[in-house]
Chains A and B, each alone.
Chain A
Amino acid sequence: DTEVTQTPKHLVMGMTNKKSLKCEQHMGHRAMYWYKQKAKKPPELMFVYSYEKLSINESVPSRFSPECPNSSLLNLHLHALQPEDSALYLCASSQTANNSPLHFGNGTRLTVT
């Protein structure tokens, strides 16, 4: 079992929809991450939050909008996505944003139709 919880597990959305992915951890970690993973590929970093502030945005299109309401929660707001955005979206957390292992959630499988 993972200590990083992601909801929903599966999401199907149209290109005009607005939806949000949610992530929660109660390990007291102060860094949280969004990764995108396409089939048969390793995860790719999208965003890093450190102490609830966005510290890294890996040139992600603006149709993906992250939000960190508090130290336990991380959201990813989705709007006007494209079919090629279909992927497994993984949330992770670590104690700090330096030299601490990342713990991943089970991901949200997103399909854009």
Chain B
Amino acid sequence: GEDVEQSLFLSVREGDSSVINCTYTDSSSTYLYWYKQEPGAGLQLLTYIFSNMDMKQDQRLTVLLNKKDKHLSLRIADTQTGDSAIYFCAEGQNNAGNMLTFGGGTRLMVKP
């Protein structure tokens, strides 16, 4: 079955860049997503990338996709304390149901 892996924890200083990594196993994934979850809240869709793209940039966020290595990363430039949250990587399948397979989430802590 599909498997999505993320490291559990990342700590950075305010103003530095953060890079959150994700690996997945299913080569038939069509879209790959990054969601942010703050304490007590739902999941906020941050960005997503189609599997035939290598890179997508959206303001402070840069997504890189290495399809050969099945590796996805999210870079947050100029990380702020408000970026502290859990970040979930997810892969989507091109089938009925739009089913997502989530990674276990990476907790990002931003120190002032």
Contact = CB atoms under 8 A, between A and B. Distances in A.
Contacts of B96: 50, 55-56, 97-98
A56 B97 contact: yes
Interface string A78-106: 00000000001010101011111111111
A48 interface: yes
Interface stretch (B29-37, B56-64, B65-73, B77-85): B29-37
A100 B99 CA distance: 10
A4 B43 CA distance: 11
- Chain A's interface size range is 20 to 34
Contacts of B95: 98
Contacts of B44: 2, 104
B104 A41 contact: yes
Nearest to A40: B105
Interface in A1-56: 2, 4, 6, 31, 33, 40-43, 45, 48, 50, 55-56
Contact of B94 (A33, A94, A98): A98
Contacts of B30: 99
Interface of A: 2, 4, 6, 31, 33, 40-43, 45, 48, 50, 55-56, 88, 90, 92, 94, 96-107, 109
Interface of B: 30-31, 33, 35, 40-45, 48, 88, 92, 94-100, 102-105
